[in-house]
Amino acid sequence: MSGLVQTPAPAVRGQDAPADEILAHLDAQVASAQSLLGVVLDQGAAIRARDVQTVVRLAGILRGEMGRRQLLEEERTRLLSRCGEKLGVPAESVTLQQLLALMGASQAERAAARSAELKGLLHELQREHTTNRAIMQIELGFLDHLMATLALDGVNGYDTHGSSTPIARGRPDGGLHVLDLRA
């Protein structure tokens, strides 16, 4: 008899499963975006302080966070596929409103709030990352200009091996080789 008593409980939970999965996934997405935003903000501060070691260290952390985001996106795809099957539509056409229809009112309200929070976080993350890239471009441009200005021996930079030998080879008539086509 105890087996029969336990049977209805999983069936009820099964009906709430899409809602519970959606809410858990949105919570994971928000937590991930918050973590990623923290790293990007720290990286921006390190860039502004010209703290190369911290910028590099945070780039590694950023790469790890992006790997975790990729796993979340794969989970999102699977979740949308399952919800699309329930709704009778392809996964790529499932909308937030359709997902909310799979939930009770309080769950739908919470999911809508988490979705709005996630959108805001992702927008802020994109803005901060774009700002960091622009600052890095400015810093690298300055370094390139500085290296060219200080290149008293004709060396304008380093080759791919980190050597400071001249990148362009002189020709006997004084011109420069752009491409060395000798075999």
**Token pair 């002189």 in the structure block, residue:** 170
Q: 156 near 150, Cβ under 8 Å?
A: no
DSSP character for 104? -
Other CB atoms closer than 10 Å to residue 65's CB: what's the count?
Answer: 19
pTM of the model: 0.69
Pick the residue with more confidence: 183 or 67? Answer: 67
Query: What's the Cα-to-Cα distance from 122 to each of 23, 65, 128, 154, rounded to whole Å?
Result: 18, 14, 10, 46
**Alpha-carbon distance 115 to 13, whole Å?**
23
- Environment class of 36 (CB within 10 Å of its CB; exposed 0-12, middle 13-18, buried 19+): buried
- Side-chain half-sphere exposure of 154, counting CA atoms within 13 A: 8
- Which CATH class name applies to 12-150? mainly alpha
pLDDT at residue number 82: 93
pLDDT tens sequence across 100-123: 999 999 999 999 999 999 999 999
pLDDT tens sequence across 117-172: 999 999 999 999 999 999 988 888 777 767 767 765 555 555 556 555 544 444 55
Pick the residue with more confidence: 35 or 139? Answer: 35
Residue ranges covered by each domain of the chain: 12-150
Torsion of CA 24, 29, 31, 35, to 10 degrees: 160
Handedness of CA 22, 23, 27, 30 (dihedral sign): positive
Length of the chain: 183
pLDDT at residue number 120: 97
The amino acid present at 82, given as its one-letter code, is R
Confidence of residue 23 (pLDDT cuts 50, 70, 90): very high
